[in-house]
Structure 1
């Protein structure tokens, strides 16, 4: 299986687990020291990220992972793509479209998420 196929499969598992709110599946997809940097700069470690679903704080209605480009560096791969979601966090809208950097590492025959970094997608600033 090529790196692109591996990351496509991991992306499908990630999206499906988020849509189902499946904390156990998400927990199984990430390394022990997984870190997420959210779109506003906050940082969540693995337990905090997974707990949002365990506690029902985050509800994902729709999520897609598109326009993905992949670079491989030995046991590590970096994918950059566009994540679009319709979701709510503690009852407030968490809808958005984000540029996401996904860092994965090889674990035997599979890939695990080591980190995610979300950035809002905005137009470039106007030139003076």
Structure 2
């Protein structure tokens, strides 16, 4: 399987884990030193992101990707994807279209997200 095909598969696994609140899969897919920038400019860590799901404060009803672009440089992949999201975060509805940028890196044959950001479209 090519690196691009692996990233497509991992992106699918990540979105499925997010929608299901599957913290075990998220723990595997996200690097321990992850940094992610939210649409409001706040930077969060993996621990902060994981707490959102373990606490039940994030419930995703639907997450629909489109316009995915993948660029590979050696053992690093950058993914830009448009996401239509319908979720509830801390009892507030989150609906809209967002552009995510995720950076995946290969560690001992395992792809992990090391960085990301999200903007509202």
TM over 0.5: yes
**Does the 8 Å contact 2:4/2:72 carry over to 1?**
no
Query: Which residue of structure 1 lines up, in the alignment, with residue 12 of structure 2?
Result: 12
Larger of the two Rg values belongs to structure: 1
**Does the 8 Å contact 2:84/2:97 carry over to 1?**
yes
Query: Which residue of structure 1 lines up, in the alignment, with residue 101 of structure 2?
Result: 101
Q: TM-score, normalised by structure 1?
A: 0.89
Find runs of 4+ consecutive structure 1 residues off by over 4 angstroms: none
CA distance in 2, matches of 1:110, 1:24: 15
Cα root mean square deviation, aligned = 1.1
Q: TM-score, normalised by structure 2?
A: 0.94
Query: Which residue of structure 2 lines up, in the alignment, with residue 125 of structure 1?
Result: none
SS of residue in 2 equivalent to 1:94: strand
CA distance in 2, matches of 1:41, 1:17: 24
SS of residue in 2 equivalent to 1:39: coil
CA distance in 2, matches of 1:110, 1:27: 13
Query: Which residue of structure 1 lines up, in the alignment, with residue 119 of structure 2?
Result: 119
**Does the 8 Å contact 1:11/1:65 carry over to 2?**
no
Structure 2 residue runs of 5 or longer lacking an equivalent are: none
Higher share in strand: 2
CA distance in 1, matches of 2:65, 2:114: 17
CA distance in 1, matches of 2:71, 2:103: 10
Could you tell me how far 1:66 is from its partner in structure 2?
Answer: 1.9
CA distance in 1, matches of 2:27, 2:44: 13
**Does the 8 Å contact 1:23/1:51 carry over to 2?**
no
